[in-house]
Amino acid sequence: MPQNLDQETRNSIFWVSVIIDSSLVVANLVIITRKIPKAQRKDVSLLLWGCLKTLVIMGILSHVCTEALIQFGTNATPAGVDEDHYHVNTSDLSSSINFCENDFVHSRHVAEPSNSISSLTTYCPLALLGLHLRPHSLLLKPDVGKLRFTLAYLSLFAIGLGSFWLHSQLTAVSQGGDELPILWYLGIATFIVVDCLLDIRATPGAKKHRTSLWLVGFSTISSAVATLTYIFNREDFFFFHMIFTTYLILILLGEGILTFSDFSKYGDSGSFREKVLLPLVSCNIWVYLSASFLWVSEMLFCHDATTDFRWGATLAPWIFDRAIHAGWHCTSALLVFMTIQILLSVWGFQQGWGEPQLRWFGAPYVYFEKKTRQA
């Protein structure tokens, strides 16, 4: 069911995205890129190439699986069954948001096949990849410092499952299954960002146990309050949106501060920032801009492309019906994964896990090279 947003909403989405995206482009090109030595700027290009390969892999996997579902699925009414009772009544859909892909055209069980399948083939594989990679693998000996990243990857996996549920059913309950895991991920990311900032401000050797416990309490209680108000008070989402927005602002501000922080007290001579942190941040901004472009395009032009056929009746409707939101899933999943890599590189470097290195195994990730002891 294509969206048909009113002109005022379209204008708001357009101008907000223009302001935010333009600011990020300027910050990336004028500030961040210039702080990377020319000899290291090739690392950004290699990182972008790695991200592009990841997006292509996820896109192909999503397309193949979607085509299989469409080809082998059926929406035909079985013999002897009342057609009015067999097919889904789209007027019964209760989610407050719908997307550009037409509902229940190819299957009576899955409302949006492309959007549903791409949820599973993007968020979930990246989450499993993160859980497998060292030094935070579930296969390793449990460590409190690594638990936060295990939870971050588990929340990424939950986002994939929740998104699949939403796009399959388009009900209010399934919408909660999609939006609540996003809140939980933001809560975990906020905890990590703030803890990294507190560690930078702490004097060398100082203990932060009380602060960390307070931070755990804040993240847990605020997430619990937002979750409970979302479930039991669906008429008023004020607290949910307030906490959601607070998390998002803290993460963005925190990452910005971390990007330009001094890590010399951890033994960094500048190589960590120049070779790992700044390339990751710069690359992640481009990934965000790609995701933002796809999301805004769907919100603004879906009705024009699929109902008014303003850009033709073949390719443009297919792109908006089958590809654009799936592309959003690819880019947003990689955005979340790369954000975890940024936080992982900072926290691991602060805790002395080793020298952070950038590697690629299906997706760019951070690996810690153990320092060799001097004889």
pLDDT at 87 over 70: no
How far is residue 22 from each of residues 12, 40, 255, 295, 335, measured CA to CA in Å? Answer: 15, 25, 18, 16, 18
- What is the Cα 323 distance to its own chain's centre? 18
pLDDT at 205 over 80: no
The answer on whether 136 is annotated among ligand-binding residues is: no
pLDDT at 80 over 70: no
Whole-angstrom Cα distance, residue 173 to residue 194?
32
Question: Could you tell me which residues come within 8 angstroms of residue 225 by beta carbon, excluding any fewer than 6 positions away?
Answer: 239, 243
Using a pLDDT cut of 70, give the percent of the chain over it.
86
Whole-angstrom Cα distance, residue 173 to residue 326?
22
Assign 303 a pLDDT band (cuts: 50, 70, 90): confident
Q: Which residues of 109-146 are buried (b: 16+ CB within 10 A; e: fewer)?
A: ebbbbbbbbbbbbbbbbbbebbbebebbeeeeeeeeeb
CB distance 150 to 343 below 8 Å: no
Amino acid at residue number 126: L
The answer on whether 303 is annotated among ligand-binding residues is: no
Structure tokens, 58: 């996820």
Of 37-41, 170-174, 269-273, the range with the highest mean pLDDT is 170-174
- Tell which wins on pLDDT, 230 or 160: 160
Per-residue confidence (pLDDT) for residue 147, from 0 to 100: 85
Question: Could you tell me which residues come within 8 angstroms of residue 17 by beta carbon, excluding any fewer than 6 positions away?
Answer: 292, 296
- Tell which wins on pLDDT, 343 or 201: 343
Per-residue confidence (pLDDT) for residue 204, from 0 to 100: 62
CB distance 37 to 274 below 8 Å: yes
Per-residue confidence (pLDDT) for residue 332, from 0 to 100: 97
Phi, psi dihedrals of residue 313, rounded to the nearest 5° = -110, 10
Whole-angstrom Cα distance, residue 75 to residue 4?
26
pLDDT at 279 over 60: yes
Whole-angstrom Cα distance, residue 89 to residue 82?
13
The answer on whether 167 is annotated among ligand-binding residues is: yes
> What pTM, to 2 d.p., does this model score?
0.91
Q: What does the domain layout of the chain look like in residue ranges?
A: 7-75+90-369
Other CB atoms within 10 A of residue 314 CB: 9
Per-residue confidence (pLDDT) for residue 39, from 0 to 100: 81
Structure tokens, 34: 């210039």
Structure tokens, 295: 């999301």
- Tell which wins on pLDDT, 182 or 107: 182
- Tell which wins on pLDDT, 43 or 162: 162
pLDDT at 247 over 50: yes
Q: Residue 262 in 3-state DSSP? A: coil
How far is residue 52 from each of residues 47, 151, 293, measured CA to CA in Å? Answer: 9, 26, 16
Q: Which of 114-118, 286-290, 309-313 has the lowest mean pLDDT?
A: 309-313
pLDDT at 85 over 70: no
The answer on whether 106 is annotated among ligand-binding residues is: no
Query: What's the rounded mean pLDDT across residues 270-290?
Result: 93
Nearest to 129 by CA among 340, 362, 332, 342: 362
pLDDT at 2 over 50: no
Whole-angstrom Cα distance, residue 255 to residue 196?
10
- Tell which wins on pLDDT, 319 or 312: 319
pLDDT at 202 over 80: no
The answer on whether 329 is annotated among ligand-binding residues is: yes
CB distance 298 to 99 below 8 Å: yes
How far is residue 148 from each of residues 1, 47, 161, 282, measured CA to CA in Å? Answer: 39, 25, 20, 24
